[in-house]
Structure 1
Amino acid sequence: MIVLASSSPRRIELLGRITDGFLTDAAQIDERALPILKPAAYVAELAAAKGADVAARHPEATIIAADTMVADGDKLLGKPKDAADATRMIRELSGKTHQTFTGMWVREPDGSIKTETVRTDVTFWDLSDAEIADFVRGESWRDKAGAYGIQDDGALLVRSINGDYYNVVGLPISTLARMLR
């Protein structure tokens, strides 16, 4: 049995591309209780904390946990709290290359643990104030790290990517499939 330590619709859809018949059980952790680290280390720690929480409830299952964060250098950009915060984030990313990191943690039923952190570089177009306002008005920024989803209206902001597209969506399935082998 496989348990995804998430209730994210995006992660559920993506995991369904590589395996059938899994359960979901969202981790119950306080992410703010973890120390803020450099982006790659931070997502790895969050994924491990989520995975350990769910593994305690499902000791005989394979547990998959992940956490995705957008970073501008060493500055983490989580989910915006409101439209003004989304506007600030998109303006900050405009015309620049930023990184999306996903930490993944897999615990097998025998207790063995595998971890990976995937990085994708994303470059935004140089956006006008009007373009940013139009994007934020569309509200697709809600519940998205860095205030955008590349799989929806956020695609219009992206000039290029270097790395795994699915990492930017929230679950790098190519890497995860290899971890599950």
Structure 2
Amino acid sequence: MNTAVYLASASPRRKELLAQLGIEFSQFSVDADESQLPNELPHAYVERLARLKACSGVKLGYTDRPVLGSDTVVVIDNESLCKPRDEADFTHTLKRLSGNTHQVLTAIAFATEDKVLSQVISTDVTFKKLSDEEIKAYWQSGEPQDKAGGYGIQGLGGRFVTHIAGSYFSVVGLPLYETEQLLHAFLRG
């Protein structure tokens, strides 16, 4: 596919993943309010953010090709777990994930001036039981601070994962298969 797109994300992980699809793209970041609305369910929340980022790129004048927006949220007990605010928030989050299965929802959206198409991909991730020492050492590594749910499966946090059901790349931040399929559908539609 020789379609060019814009990637409305400053994420180096999304940049690396999109490059794996062989799609020509330019990357920029958007300033979007990522606050969850009162009573907003995780699925609706993450999809709204992906659509907001894609549409924000269009509003900034990126209109000569589709804009890709994406967002990822970790969910346990139907509660969205975003990036940790501080070490105490991180510790609380990891203790909730420890020994349990949670969902990682990644939403992708393509937008132009006249249309938006989006999709949410859900992946189940199971963590081993974590010790307090493992949680503290992981925080001190510096890796969790900018990660949804406080961990990166592609980095040091991957050693906590005992099982995954769904898209590994979605957990990293951009589902490759689904992104390519959604772009095809967007261009056809």
TM-score, normalization: structure 2?
0.90
The one of 55, 58, 73 aligned to 2:77? 73
The one of 137, 154, 161 aligned to 1:151? 154
Q: Which runs of 4+ in 1 moved over 3 A?
A: 33-36
Match runs of 1:20-169 below 5 Å: 20-32=23-35, 34-35=37-38, 37-56=40-59, 57-108=61-112, 111-169=114-172
**Residue segments in structure 1 that go unaligned for 5+ positions in a row:** none
Residue 131 of structure 1 and its aligned partner are, at CA, apart by 1.7
Residue 112 of structure 1 and its aligned partner are, at CA, apart by 3.3
Distance 1:124 1:117, change over 3 A: same
Residue 140 of structure 1 and its aligned partner are, at CA, apart by 1.0
Is contact 1:73–1:99 with CA below 8 Å preserved after alignment?
no
Distance 1:160 1:33, change over 3 A: closer
What CA distance in whole angstroms lies between the structure 1 residues aligned with 2:77 and 2:119?
Answer: 20
Deviations 1:2-29 (A, max 9, x none): 1001010000000001134311121222
Seq. identity, %: 38
What CA distance in whole angstroms lies between the structure 1 residues aligned with 2:47 and 2:39?
Answer: 12
Residue 108 of structure 1 and its aligned partner are, at CA, apart by 4.7
Is contact 1:68–1:100 with CA below 8 Å preserved after alignment?
yes
Q: Count matched residues.
A: 180
Is contact 1:55–1:61 with CA below 8 Å preserved after alignment?
no
What CA distance in whole angstroms lies between the structure 2 residues aligned with 1:34 and 1:25?
Answer: 25
For the residue of structure 2 that corresponds to 1:142, the secondary structure is helix
Q: CA RMSD in A?
A: 1.5
Is contact 2:139–2:145 with CA below 8 Å preserved after alignment?
no
**Residue segments in structure 2 that go unaligned for 5+ positions in a row:** 185-189
